[in-house]
Amino acid sequence: MRVNMQGKPGRYNAPYSGVPTFLRQDYCDDIETMDADIAILGVPTDEGSPFMAGSRFAPRSIREHSLRFSPEGYYNVLTDKNYLLWETANRRMVDVGDTDVLGTSIEQTFENITHDVEAILDRGAMPVIIGGDHAITYPIVRAFKEPIHVLHFDAHMDYQPFVHDLRFTNGHAFRHIKPMMHVMSLTQIGIRSLRSAMQEFIDARAEGSRIVTMDEIYSRGPAGFVFDTLPKGEKVYVSIDVDVFDMPLIPGCVSAEPGGMTYQELRDILNAIAQHMEIVGFDFVEVNPQLDVGTGITSYIGAHTILEFLGAICEQPWWHKRTGRG
C-alpha cells in the first residue's frame, strides 16, 4: 500500500504537523510492490555503539527535520536552480519505513537490513539509508551483487580487529566490507581521529584501502581527489558518518572530532562524486538526538545533507538515463 503523506491538495502542512516521512514523501509499506526510483529506509539501531547509545532515534529525528523543507523540491540560490521537482511531482521517491530491529540479536537485525536493501534493489530503486550507527553499512553493502566501489566519509577508520568476540560494532564495518568480492575499491575520506590505532591504518592499506586525510583535501581542494583518483563513470556506494564534519557543527554526535569538514567542503565533494561516478546508494549515520542541542541542528544537518546530495544525484545525465526522466 502507498499512502500520500501530504494529504489533500491545498493543505498548508506546517513542519510540526502530520506523520513524518522523509520530505513528506509517500509512505510505502511493502517494498516488494514498490514503484519508485528512490527509497528511503530507516535503520534505528545502535547495538553496534558500545560507548554511548542513542543513534537509534536518528531516523525519526532526521525525518522530522526534513519536514522543514518543501515536499515539492527545493531552490538553491547559489546555483539559481530548482532540484527534485521531477522526482517529487512524479512521486518517484518513497519512504519505506524502518527495518525491523531486534535489540537482542544484532545478527538477525543485520539479516533484516540486508533483506530490505536487496528488496529495494530488486525493485530497481536507489536505497537511501538513515541510521543508526555505522555498523549498519556492512549489511547494507553485502546486499549488492554487482561490482561497486565504496566511499567512506568518517573521522575514524572503523577498521578495528576482531578481538574479544567483537565483530559487529560501529568500529568494524569496513574490515568486513573491504574483502567482499564485489567491492572493487574502498576509499576512506576525512580520517583524522587520534583514537584510530596505527594497526588499523596498516591493515587497511595492506588490504588496498585508499585513505584520504583532511590535509590532502586541503591541499587538493575539496573535489580535487575525486577527479584525480576515482574511476570515472563506475558505480559507487557512499557511506557518510556525521562525524566527518567538524566538531562544532555536530553537538549531537558522540564521536565528534576536531579538524573536520565544513558543510561546504562535504557538499562540494559529494557534488563532484555525483558528476564523476554513478551512485547506487548511500547512507547517513551516527546522529545521536539525545546529545543534540534543543534546536536539533545535528539532525537538521543530516536532513540537509541527504536532501542536497539527492538533488545533485538527480541532476546527472546518468540518473536521467537510468530513470527515463525527460
Instruction: Walk me through the domains of the chain, giving residue ranges and CATH numbers.
Output: 2-10+21-323 (3.40.800.10)
- In the three-class reduction of DSSP (H, G, I as helix; E, B as strand; rest coil), residue 195 is classed as coil
Burial of 203: CB neighbours in 10 Å, binned 0-12, 13-18, 19+: middle
Strand 148-153 and strand 126-131: the pairing is unpaired
What residue has cell string 510492490?
33
pLDDT given for residue 305 in this prediction: 98
- Residues present in the chain in total: 326
- In the three-class reduction of DSSP (H, G, I as helix; E, B as strand; rest coil), residue 267 is classed as helix
Write the single-letter amino acid at 37: D
pLDDT given for residue 172 in this prediction: 76
- The rounded Cα 71 to chain-centroid distance in angstroms is 20
Residues 53, 304, 281, 245, Cα dihedral to 10°: -60
Strand 38-43 and strand 210-213: the pairing is unpaired
> Pick from 295, 269, 170, 272: which is nearest to 217 by CA?
269
What residue has cell string 591541499?
219
Cell of 84: 527534485
Look at phi and psi of residue 261 and say left if phi exceeds 0, alpha if psi is from -120 to 50, else beta: beta
DSSP 231: P
Rounded CA gap, 303 and 309, in Å? 10
pLDDT mean values, one per 10 residues, the chain (326 residues): 82 87 96 96 87 91 97 96 96 97 90 98 98 93 97 89 70 86 96 89 92 90 84 97 97 94 96 97 96 96 98 97 85
- In the three-class reduction of DSSP (H, G, I as helix; E, B as strand; rest coil), residue 100 is classed as coil
pLDDT given for residue 98 in this prediction: 97
Statement: the pTM of the whole predicted model exceeds 0.85: yes
DSSP 166: B
Angle between helices 297-313 and 263-276 (to 10 degrees): 20
Write the single-letter amino acid at 62: I
List pLDDT tens digits, range 262-316. Answer: 999 999 999 999 999 999 999 999 999 999 999 999 999 999 999 999 999 999 9
Residues 220, 223, 229, 231, Cα dihedral to 10°: -170
Write the single-letter amino acid at 125: A
Give the phi and the psi of residue 59 in degrees, each rounded to 5.
-55, -40
In three-state form (DSSP H/G/I as H, E/B as E, the rest C), the secondary structure along 151-180 is EEECCCCCCCCCECCECCCCCCHHHHHCCC
List pLDDT tens digits, range 219-232. Answer: 888 788 888 889 99
Is the bond into 132 cis (omega within 30 degrees of 0)?
A: yes
Cell of 7: 494529504
Write the single-letter amino acid at 36: A
Q: N- to C-terminal Cα distance for the chain?
A: 27
